[in-house]
Amino acid sequence: MNFFEAELKKIMAESTVLKDQKYVGRLCYGTISDELRARIEFVTLGVCDHYAGIKTSVINRKEGVVDSMLIRFSDILGKPKVNNPNFKNGVNPHIWTCDGKSEWYVFKPGKADYQKLAVGIENYLSVFQDMALAQEQQDGGMQQIP
């Protein structure tokens, strides 16, 4: 498992919305409902090899992308203070890749930080889970006329 897969797993492993998770490269795929899937990936925001956010896409198996959302790490985690004199005002969290090695730059997230990211993603995905459940209930509640 590479660095990105391991980081995605730290964020999404406890998900109550995303089932049947698969980790591939910088991506996590999973099932929301019979028809809906999710794709979660680390993304750069204009700076090469600086992954400063996570993009989450909801995909209908038959029709393609339904919606997507970008979560910047700084939107969820703020600008954390670090024990580095070069960053007295904190640092914008991001993963960087340098010389073929990927790691968090200066700031290292803890369990609570991963949970905050997970909650942000789960809140977004739950909107589509609720829609899928409502549709299933509606379809299941309708009576067929012979």
Tell me if 41 is assigned to some domain: yes
Tell me if 80 is assigned to some domain: yes
Total structural domains in the chain? 1
Q: Which residue range(s) make up the domain with 110?
A: 3-139
20-74 pLDDT per residue, tens:
999 998 999 999 998 999 999 999 999 999 999 999 999 999 999 999 999 999 9
Residue whose token pair is 């993963």? 95
72-119 pLDDT per residue, tens:
999 999 999 999 999 999 999 999 999 999 999 999 999 999 999 999
Tell me if 146 is assigned to some domain: no
Mapped onto helix, strand or coil, the DSSP state of residue 140 is helix
pLDDT band at 1 (very low <50, low <70, confident <90, very high): confident
Tell me if 145 is assigned to some domain: no
- Residue 17 above 70 pLDDT? yes
